[in-house]
Amino acid sequence: MNYINNMIIDGLAFGIPLFIMAVGAIYSEKSGITNLAVEGFQGFGAFCGAVLATLLSLNTSLGDQTILYLAMITAFIGGAVYAILHALLCIKFRADQVISGVVINILAVALTTFLTSQISGVLYGNASNKFTLGVSSRFTVPGISSIPVIGAVFTNVYPFEVIILVLAVFMWYLMYKSKFGMRLRACGENPQAVDAAGGDVAKTRFISVMISGGLSGFGGMCFAYSILSMFSPSIYLGYGYLAIAAMIFGNWNIIPTFFVCLFFGLAKAGGNQLCIRMGLASIYTDLFMMIPYILTLILLVFFSKRNHPPKAAGEAYDKGKR
Name every residue whose Cβ is closer than 8 Å to that of residue 235 and which is 6 or more positions away in sequence: 42, 43, 46, 47, 220, 223, 224, 228
In a domain, 118, yes or no: yes
In a domain, 142, yes or no: no
DSSP state, 290? T
pLDDT for res 81: 98
In a domain, 138, yes or no: no
Q: Is 223 left (phi over 0), alpha (psi -120 to 50) or beta?
A: alpha
Which pTM value belongs to this model?
Answer: 0.95
In a domain, 150, yes or no: no
pLDDT for res 320: 63
Name every residue whose Cβ is closer than 8 Å to that of residue 210 and which is 6 or more positions away in sequence: 80, 81, 83, 84, 87
- Ordered alpha helix ranges (H), the chain: 2-30, 38-59, 64-87, 97-124, 159-177, 179-189, 191-196, 201-224, 239-249, 254-277, 285-288, 291-303
In a domain, 139, yes or no: no
Number of domains the chain contains: 1
pLDDT for res 236: 81
pLDDT for res 300: 75
pLDDT for res 1: 58
User: Per-10-residue mean pLDDT for the chain, 322 residues long?
Assistant: 87 96 98 97 97 95 93 98 98 95 96 95 88 91 91 95 98 97 96 93 97 98 90 86 93 96 91 78 70 79 78 83 58
Assess contact for 63 and 120: CB atoms under 8 A: no
In a domain, 94, yes or no: yes
- CATH number of the domain at 160, please: 1.10.3470
pLDDT for res 36: 96
Can you give the residue range of the structural domain that contains 223?
2-131+156-321
Q: Which of 272, 285, 211 has its CA nearest to residue 14?
A: 272
In a domain, 151, yes or no: no
pLDDT for res 98: 96
pLDDT for res 125: 86
pLDDT for res 282: 63
In a domain, 147, yes or no: no
